[in-house]
């Protein structure tokens, strides 16, 4: 009878089997009935392969994010639409840690978080962009007398406003520092001349710039003369005189005139 030798298997258990039994002799031709009866010979399996399902590793134990099909990013992360940025970030970090072993779940969580950030950025940009259009709408809907008054007002560039503001803040600080030695007469004179210069540079009309500058000084001084005596003396420094406080209020009116009047 012809015999054949089965090749040794690469399995760990087959190695131990062939170590004890170097060769396994089988008949070359098996009876048909025995083959039909299911006497099949295969590669021996190791106990580890059998324990985990025949060598095919399963990831079914990894938790899967249950809200993967929800389109609303806020509901996907489990936060409300008015949640703060810290709450949204905390929910995202918690979910990523909980479902770290499932790649699709992590991608869904990251996509929802990025969508919320993008939407928030668009809203902030849209609000900033529509600020001037809202102001124009308010002007259109204002009463006639308000429209006539607003015809003399303009909104200059931000750098112009900041330069004018810095100048008059400096003049006010200078007046306060020198209040113990002398009055603010020099600072007031320098402020009115600077205001006239700024107005003339914008209006291109010296007469109008002179009238507007001195008018702002008169209005500011008048308002200061009325308001300053009403301030409790407890809130004021002993060295601050009525003249100094009135000049500070005048600086405010001079700044508004040279910055916002047409």
Q: How does pLDDT run across 225-241, given as a tens digit for each residue?
A: 999 888 888 888 887 88
Measured between its terminal Cα atoms, the distance across the chain in Å is: 118
Question: How far is Cα of residue 147 from the mean position of the Cα atoms in its chain?
Answer: 37
Helix ranges restricted to H, the chain: 12-20, 32-36, 47-51, 73-77, 85-98, 103-129, 131-141, 144-150, 158-177, 185-203, 206-227, 242-260
Residues 28 and 115 in one domain: no
Instruction: Determine, yes or no, domain membership for 142.
Output: no
**pLDDT for position 61:** 66
Helix (H) or strand (E) holding 27: strand 25-27
Instruction: Determine, yes or no, domain membership for 104.
Output: yes
Instruction: Determine, yes or no, domain membership for 117.
Output: yes
**pLDDT for position 35:** 42
Is 189 in contact with 247 (CB distance < 8 Å)? no
Instruction: Mark residue 55 as left, alpha or beta (left: phi above 0; alpha: psi -120 to 50; beta: remaining).
Output: left
Pick from 52, 57, 76, 80: nearest CA to 65: 76
Helix ranges restricted to H, 21-98: 32-36, 47-51, 73-77, 85-98
Answer whether 0.85 is exceeded by the pTM.
no
Residues 80 and 120 in one domain: yes
Residues 253 and 163 in one domain: yes
Residues 166 and 243 in one domain: yes
| DSSP-assigned beta bridge partners for residue 4 | 26
Pick from 258, 129, 234, 240: nearest CA to 180: 240
Give the number of domains in the chain: 3
Is 243 in contact with 220 (CB distance < 8 Å)? no
Residues 156 and 119 in one domain: no
Alpha-carbon span 9 to 11, nearest angstrom: 5
Alpha-carbon span 130 to 165, nearest angstrom: 25
Residues 97 and 158 in one domain: no
Residues 256 and 156 in one domain: yes
**pLDDT for position 183:** 78
Residues 165 and 83 in one domain: no
Residues of the chain with pLDDT under 70: 1-61, 125-142
Instruction: Determine, yes or no, domain membership for 189.
Output: yes
Is 186 in contact with 222 (CB distance < 8 Å)? no
How far CA 78 is from CA of 42, 72, 73, 125, 260, in Å, comes to 52, 10, 8, 26, 48
Residues 173 and 236 in one domain: yes
Instruction: Determine, yes or no, domain membership for 65.
Output: no
Residues 252 and 221 in one domain: yes
**pLDDT for position 1:** 44
134's tokens: 């809202």
| DSSP-assigned beta bridge partners for residue 3 | 27
Domain coverage including residue 35: 3-51
Give the angle 163-213-167 at the CA atoms, nearest 5°: 20
Alpha-carbon span 82 to 89, nearest angstrom: 13
Instruction: Determine, yes or no, domain membership for 58.
Output: no
Residues 212 and 252 in one domain: yes
Residues 123 and 188 in one domain: no
**pLDDT for position 68:** 83
Instruction: Determine, yes or no, domain membership for 137.
Output: no
Instruction: Determine, yes or no, domain membership for 144.
Output: no
């Amino acid at each position: 009878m012809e015999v054949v030798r089965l090749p040794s298997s690469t399995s760990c258990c087959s190695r131990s089997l062939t170590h004890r039994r170097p060769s396994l002799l089988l008949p070359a031709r098996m009876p048909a009935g025995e083959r039909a009866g299911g006497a099949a010979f295969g590669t021996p399996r190791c106990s580890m392969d059998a324990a985990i399902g025949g060598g095919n590793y399963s990831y079914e134990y990894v938790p899967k994010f249950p809200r993967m099909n929800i389109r609303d990013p806020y509901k996907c992360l489990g936060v409300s639409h008015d949640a703060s940025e810290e709450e949204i970030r905390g929910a995202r970090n918690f979910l990523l840690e909980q479902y770290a072993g499932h790649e699709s779940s992590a991608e869904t969580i990251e996509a929802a978080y990025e969508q919320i950030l993008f939407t928030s950025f668009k809203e902030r940009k849209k609000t900033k962009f529509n600020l001037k259009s809202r102001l124009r709408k308010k002007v259109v809907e204002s009463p006639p007398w308000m429209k006539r008054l607003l015809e003399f007002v303009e909104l200059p560039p931000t750098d112009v406003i900041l330069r004018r503001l810095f100048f008059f803040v400096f003049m006010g600080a200078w007046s306060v520092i020198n209040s113990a030695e002398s009055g603010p007469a020099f600072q007031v004179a320098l402020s009115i001349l600077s205001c006239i210069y700024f107005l003339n540079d914008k209006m291109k009309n010296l007469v109008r710039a002179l009238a507007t500058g001195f008018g702002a000084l008169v209005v500011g001084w008048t308002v200061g003369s009325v308001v300053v005596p009403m301030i409790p003396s407890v809130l004021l420094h002993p060295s601050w005189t009525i003249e100094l406080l009135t000049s500070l209020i005048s600086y405010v009116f001079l700044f508004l005139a040279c910055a916002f009047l047409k």
